[in-house]
Amino acid sequence: MSKTYDREYFDRWYRSSRAVVRQDVVQRKVRLALAATEHLLGREVQTVLDVGCGEAPWRGILRRMRPELEYTGVDPSDYVVRRYGRSRNILQGSLLDLDDLYLERSYDLVVCADVLQYLPNDDVRRGLTLLARRTGGVAYIEAFTAGDDMVGEHEDWHMRSAEWYRRAFRQAGLVPVGLYLFVGPRLFPTTNELERCS
């Protein structure tokens, strides 16, 4: 990737008057993912892995809702890790680095939002396998397709069809349960047929 994820990048896309990512939208996504995960697990979420977390906007919302929750973020940005790494538990790395970060367990909720469309095909396939391995409960994986009317950054964008993504999710062992939510192999046996979207 040729982009630099520095303070200017986050100011432009997240904090400026023309920001594409709005806090109220992020809050709704967090509430959706948390409620669905807790429904399917049958208990409160205790652990979250957020891959490509940026400045970790999910963390604050999650911690307000579940103060005891253990959050781990992963992001490639030097700026993010230098500024927030210690205070927000953000490790430096990318989706493909998950095995190298010694994340030796699965997580109740795995988040990977707005990342996949910027990665090459092989990286997406491998990354989804790594996410599935870490998903003990539900994965919230938000990706945009060639058919979506997406507003925002298009640099390094890989135009893929929804079917391409569906096939990649299936190959990784991630089963859709709706609205960017997926269960992995551990939770799949406990889901009912109509909870699944396939």
Q: What is the pLDDT of residue 31?
A: 98
The span from the CA of 48 to the CA of 70, in Å, is: 6
The values of phi and psi at residue 133, to 5°, are -65, -30
Q: Decide: residue 88, CB within 10 A, 0-12 exposed, 13-18 middle, 19+ buried.
A: buried
What is the signed CA dihedral for 111, 115, 119, 122, rounded to 10 degrees?
20
Question: Cα-atom radius of gyration of the chain, to the nearest Å?
Answer: 16
- Top-confidence residue, 155 or 24: 24
Question: H/E element holding 128?
Answer: helix 121-134
Indicate whether 153 pLDDT > 80: no
- Region 147-174: what's the mean pLDDT? 88
Residue whose tokens read 């859709």:
176
Q: Which amino acid is at 71?
A: Y
Which residues on adjacent β-strands are paired with residue 141?
Answer: 112
Indicate whether 32 pLDDT > 60: yes
Indicate whether 132 pLDDT > 60: yes
Q: In CATH, what number does 22-195 get?
A: 3.40.50.150
Indicate whether 86 pLDDT > 80: yes
Angle, helices 57-65 vs 23-41, to 10°: value is: 50
Angle, helices 121-134 vs 162-172, to 10°: value is: 40
Nearest Cα residue to 79 out of 20, 4, 19: 4
Q: What is the pLDDT of residue 150?
A: 72
**Number of neighbouring beta carbons within 10 Å of residue 52:** 23
Task: Give CA 151 to chain center in angstroms.
Answer: 19
Indicate whether 1 pLDDT > 60: no
2-16, 22-36, 131-145, 170-184: least confidently modelled range: 2-16
Q: What is the model's pTM?
A: 0.92
